[in-house]
Amino acid sequence: MSQLSSAKVPKDRRLERLTERLGIVSYTNVAPLHWRLEPWAGAAFVRGVPTELNRQLLGGDIDLTLVSSVEFLRHRDLLRALPDFSIATLGPVYSVMLFHWGPWEQLSGKKIALTTDSATSVELLHVLLRETGIEADFVPMAPDLDTMLSTCDAALLIGDVALREAVSKREVNGQKPRVTDLGKGWYDLTKLPFTFAVWASRKDMPPSDLLVAKLRAAREHGLGHLAEVSRPEAEKLGVSESVVQRYLGNFRYYLESPDRDGLLAFAERSVPGFRPGELTFWNL
């Protein structure tokens, strides 16, 4: 059973905010969570990639956002998560992919280009390489597969660009790279789901009941209309609607007990000094 603690919302909230600022990650896998959700009086949306929104949350510039799991773990003294929201998969994720020229087992001593869009996926790659005894050199780069593989032996991509490249199976510089799905790699290692992100706020800035209620309603509406959610996302990505619908249907969006177990297993492998019970969740 997961050793995680919950915290009740303080009765004396901070001084009433004029506007709650909600960070929206602009990736297809998050689309069902905010499908047709529009800002309302007292709420504003800020869109961006995980690394940008994580920085804004930690700096107090936004109030609630989808937080990369590794940032939630590293800043567990500052952040508290919603108890029932996640981006997780049991097995392949299809959008956290390592593209590489040689076999995985031959990556020792090679140069791996790392996307600058996600800290969690980078740390997951580090974990999987360590578990297989591989030591490589890492080069942070903008997420462009052609550029990355022109100068490095492997490239880590996440999100929409990773999904698009994995589906296309195209040649890069005249040859097709091998592809390793890190979600599958984690499952092969642990037989647990991997939780890529949670919704979190600062501990001194609890989300309002209205904000959480609207997020829950949006999630139910989005998951109940995956075909409609998939249509514009497929057009944006340049892939078929069936690919996107299958992709979205693969995610676990409720942070259930196995997802929390996977989060703890990741914490134990990636965060020095982590102790069970240090993660806190709002009792909402």
Per DSSP, the three-state class of 106 is helix
**pLDDT tops 80 at residue 238:** yes
DSSP bridge pairs for 64: 22, 201
**pLDDT tops 80 at residue 3:** no
Domain boundary, last residue among 136, 171, 190: 190
Same domain, 115 and 179: yes
Same domain, 204 and 67: yes
**pLDDT tops 80 at residue 208:** yes
At 110-122, the pLDDT tens digits run: 999 999 888 899 9
What does the pLDDT read at residue 23? 96
Same domain, 145 and 180: yes
The edge-to-edge listing of strands for the beta sheet with 178-181 is 137-141, 111-115, 154-158, 96-100, 178-181
User: Residue 284: which pLDDT band, with cuts at 50, 70 and 90?
Assistant: confident
Same domain, 73 and 130: no
d(C-alpha 54, C-alpha 173), whole Å: 34
Q: How many domains are there within the chain?
A: 2
Domain boundary, last residue among 190, 206, 227: 190
What is this structure's pTM? 0.91
User: Residue 6: which pLDDT band, with cuts at 50, 70 and 90?
Assistant: low
Q: Which residue has the tokens 């590489």?
A: 100
d(C-alpha 94, C-alpha 132), whole Å: 21
Outline where 152-274 has alpha helix (H): 159-168, 182-190, 209-223, 226-237, 241-249, 257-270
Residue 123 belongs to domain spanning: 96-190
Same domain, 204 and 278: yes
Q: What is the CATH number of the domain that holds 154?
A: 3.40.190.10
**pLDDT tops 50 at residue 11:** no
Per DSSP, the three-state class of 164 is helix
What does the pLDDT read at residue 15? 44
**pLDDT tops 90 at residue 107:** yes
Alpha-carbon distances of 42 from 22, 138, 210, 219, rounded to whole Å: 11, 43, 10, 20
At 242-261, the pLDDT tens digits run: 999 999 999 999 999 999 99
Same domain, 53 and 110: no
pLDDT, mean of residues 44-62: 92
Provide the pairing of β-strand 154-158 with 96-100. Answer: antiparallel
